[in-house]
Structure 1
């Protein structure tokens, strides 16, 4: 799965979690979204794991500096 495909699916997750519209762009980070705090981060990771049927190791998600890197991590986890 390519980054653009992952970002499209992430947009669906964002639409279901955030109250305000947040565009899932590669350069987006938590610092860009007022509503995105530590509790929201946990909710997002759980929703992403369910949506993509992947599991992340402790600390793995925190290495991503922006949504593009997170999308690449998701794509990597989906590889057979």
Structure 2
């Protein structure tokens, strides 16, 4: 699975969690760019991504995510 497809799926996850079908994220999107991306959203996002991609992340890795690029990097690492 390439980065573009991972980003597409993560965008869907964001849209569902934020109940905003118009949201568009990029690899450059960081938590500060999205008003509702708080600590609770961060954990919900991690769980949804683990479920969607059938992978597991450790707590340190999840805490290190600053933005979408970090999330994609983690997914790519787990899938390869």
Which runs of 5 or more residues in structure 2 are unaligned?
none
**Number of aligned residue pairs:** 79
Superposed CA offset, 1:3-39 (max 9, x none): 1111011011111111333312000011111111111
- Name 2:39's counterpart in structure 1: 38
Q: Which residue of 2 aligns with 1:15?
A: 15
1:59 aligns with 2:60: yes
1:3–1:68 contact (8 Å) kept in structure 2? no
What is the TM-score normalised by the length of structure 2? 0.87
Higher helix share: 2
In structure 1, the partner of 2:27 is 26
Q: Is the 8 A contact 1:10 1:48 kept in 2?
A: yes
- What secondary structure sits across from 1:59 in the alignment? helix
Root-mean-square deviation (Å) = 1.3
Q: Normalized against structure 1, the TM-score is what?
A: 0.87
Moved over 6 A (4+): none
Provide structure 1 residue ranges, at least 5 long, that are not aligned to the other structure: none
Partners of 1:69 and 1:41 lie apart in 2 by 12
